[in-house]
């Protein structure tokens, strides 16, 4: 019966839903339940005060993040092994895996540590020995000297990253052909191709991808179900990025590291590896106020306050705080990653006390209400305008463009408003929430589906509002990712002016305006 109920709820929540402000409390608590209901390996829950941190201080952190950070996706605080606060900014939820980007590197490092522990490789193995068929005919002295240790600590001797994604050449061959002007171990360069090489080495020595190698050794013991990891054309897990996990999965990983590799009484990862991987192995800067200048371990960053972390592009964090026996997990879509960490240091760190605090039911209920009602900011404006009924059903065609958008129409006369877009890949109908988020499994992604690691058919949530009689604002959130698109449609007689701004992007955030012409009424 329990499995039937869980499956039924999962089916319901994977379908398009309207999430109003009033529905958020039930929605978040249900999704939290789905993430943990049949999993005995979940982290236990506790009140904040019982673990030495006040609900009021956590609420202050959440309020500040909600006001100052665009855009928070999720947050989980673990103290003394207990989850004391957790929240998702709708349409993000506890059950949906989130792209980790470079936080994936810390999992690749763990695979290396496990393979070393099993005697399959060593830190001092020369990189060339694993790929004799891909080596240059006359490797340089520095390339010959490059070791596994140098890949791990981002000190390969490269001055720039090898363009491993370019062309059809095997990525290992491209990496080994790239110049190594510095002696390995002497020059820090944050180097995603180096992490890929670690993944390829693990696959060489184990016969399994990093994903498959970690499943029985790490993911399954931690209760991480169905992890997805992008692979390259040669069938190797990308390693440096491409892993997607849920918020609590990240927190469990951080807690396992905090516990020196132990989980539920079992030593999953050698404690010596945990010590070495999270220690300072490379000097990478001198600013005392930057969390990127505190040194680098084996695919972990050293941070201020004698802490360490794995992190990924646009604000994916697994922050481990040994002195205070705490783990902070955050997913977000931010341009200033330091600002998020500053909030943790300024708001949460001083709040962590050594002993239990008196229970404060009022503050705890306020915190729980806030966490249950979190929303990605909705477009501002009115739910409708007189123009809406006149443009509903009209099609606007666009000249050929690099985004593949051929035509756009709107439906404001049905029970659910919708954006209909014809592209070179077909037609999509995206339900639009008015004062809410509406989810869909095949919504318009506005080109973000071409971004690194984003699924071909990403899950999309949309919301809309009219800021003037002739201007409709629509926000599209790809809630498996850090990305959203803010769309502005200006109706100008028979023309439709279509502007786009992404919150974050590996390329331009503001896209060229598209101008469409009305062609028919549907």
Task: Identify the CA nearest to 377 among candidates 458, 451, 484.
Answer: 484
Residue 467 is part of a domain; what is its CATH number? 2.40.128.20
The answer to the question of residue 508 being in a domain is: yes
Mean pLDDT computed over 83-93: 98
The answer to the question of residue 34 being in a domain is: no
The answer to the question of residue 497 being in a domain is: yes
The answer to the question of residue 445 being in a domain is: yes
**What pLDDT shows up at residue 39?**
53
- To the nearest whole number, what is the mean pLDDT of the chain? 92
Task: Find the domain containing 500 and state its range.
Answer: 387-521
- Judge whether 312 and 101 are in contact, CB under 8 Å: yes
Mean pLDDT computed over 113-139: 98
The answer to the question of residue 97 being in a domain is: no
List alpha helices for 15-92, DSSP H: 24-36, 55-68
**What pLDDT shows up at residue 521?**
56
pLDDT tens string 251-283: 999 999 999 999 999 999 999 999 999 999 999
- State both tokens at 241: 């990025």
The answer to the question of residue 510 being in a domain is: yes
What's the rounded Cα separation, in Å, for the pair 139 and 62?
53
Helices and strands in the chain, H and E counts: 14, 23
Mean pLDDT computed over 171-185: 98
The answer to the question of residue 511 being in a domain is: yes
Chain centroid offset of residue 234 CA: 24
**What pLDDT shows up at residue 151?**
98
The answer to the question of residue 358 being in a domain is: no
Q: Residue 165 carries which DSSP code? A: T
pLDDT tens string 273-316: 999 999 999 999 999 999 999 999 999 999 999 999 999 999 99
What's the rounded Cα separation, in Å, for the pair 449 and 457?
7
What's the rounded Cα separation, in Å, for the pair 190 and 218?
26
What is the number of domains present in the chain?
Answer: 1
Neighbours of 207 (CB within 10 A): 10
């Amino acid at each position: 019966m329990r499995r039937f109920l869980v499956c039924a709820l999962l089916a319901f929540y994977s379908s398009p839903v309207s999430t109003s402000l009033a529905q958020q409390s039930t929605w978040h608590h249900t999704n939290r339940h789905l993430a943990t209901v049949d999993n005995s390996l979940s982290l236990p829950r506790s009140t904040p005060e019982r673990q030495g941190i006040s609900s009021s201080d956590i609420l202050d952190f959440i309020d500040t993040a909600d006001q100052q950070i665009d855009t928070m996706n999720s947050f989980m605080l673990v103290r003394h092994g207990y989850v004391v606060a957790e929240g998702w900014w709708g349409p993000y939820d506890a059950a949906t895996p989130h792209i980790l980007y470079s936080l994936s590197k810390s999992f690749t490092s763990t695979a290396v540590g496990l393979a070393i522990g099993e005697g399959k490789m060593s830190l001092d193995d020369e990189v060339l020995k694993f790929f004799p068929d891909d080596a240059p005919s006359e490797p340089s002295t520095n390339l010959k000297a490059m070791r596994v240790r140098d890949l791990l600590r981002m000190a390969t001797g490269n001055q720039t990253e090898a363009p491993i994604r370019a062309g059809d050449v095997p990525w290992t061959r491209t990496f080994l052909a790239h110049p190594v002007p510095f002696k390995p171990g002497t020059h820090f360069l944050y180097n995603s191709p180096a992490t890929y090489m670690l993944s390829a080495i693990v696959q060489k020595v184990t016969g399994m991808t990093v994903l498959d190698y970690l499943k029985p050794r790490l993911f399954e013991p931690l209760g991480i179900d169905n992890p997805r990891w992008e692979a390259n054309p040669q069938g190797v897990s990308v390693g440096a990025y491409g892993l997607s996990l849920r918020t609590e999965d990240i927190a469990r990983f951080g807690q396992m590291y905090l516990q020196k590799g132990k989980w539920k009484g079992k030593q999953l990862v050698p404690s010596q590896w945990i010590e070495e991987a999270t220690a300072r192995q490379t000097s990478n800067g001198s600013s005392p106020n930057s969390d990127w200048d505190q040194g680098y371990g084996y695919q972990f960053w050293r941070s201020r306050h004698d802490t360490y972390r794995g992190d990924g592009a646009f604000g994916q964090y697994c922050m481990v705080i040994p002195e205070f026996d705490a783990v902070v997990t955050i997913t977000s879509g931010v341009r200033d990653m330091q600002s998020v960490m500053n909030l943790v240091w300024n708001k949460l760190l001083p709040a962590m006390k050594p002993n239990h605090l008196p229970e404060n039911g009022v503050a705890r209920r306020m915190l729980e209400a806030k966490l249950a009602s979190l929303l990605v900011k909705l477009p501002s404006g009115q739910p409708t305008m007189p123009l809406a009924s006149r443009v509903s059903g009209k099609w606007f065609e666009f000249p050929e463009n690099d985004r593949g958008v051929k035509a756009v129409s709107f439906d404001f006369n049905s029970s659910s408003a919708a954006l209909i877009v014809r592209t070179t890949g077909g037609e999509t109908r995206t339900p639009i929430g008015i004062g809410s988020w509406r989810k869909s499994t095949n919504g318009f992604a506005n080109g973000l589906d071409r971004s690194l690691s984003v699924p071909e058919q990403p899950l999309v949530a949309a919301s809309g509002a009219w800021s003037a009689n002739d201007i409709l604002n629509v926000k599209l959130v790809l809630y498996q990712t850090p990305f959203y698109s803010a769309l502005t449609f200006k109706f100008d007689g028979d023309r439709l002016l279509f502007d786009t701004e992404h919150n974050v992007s590996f390329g331009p955030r503001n896209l060229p305006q598209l101008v469409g012409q009305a062609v028919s009424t549907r």
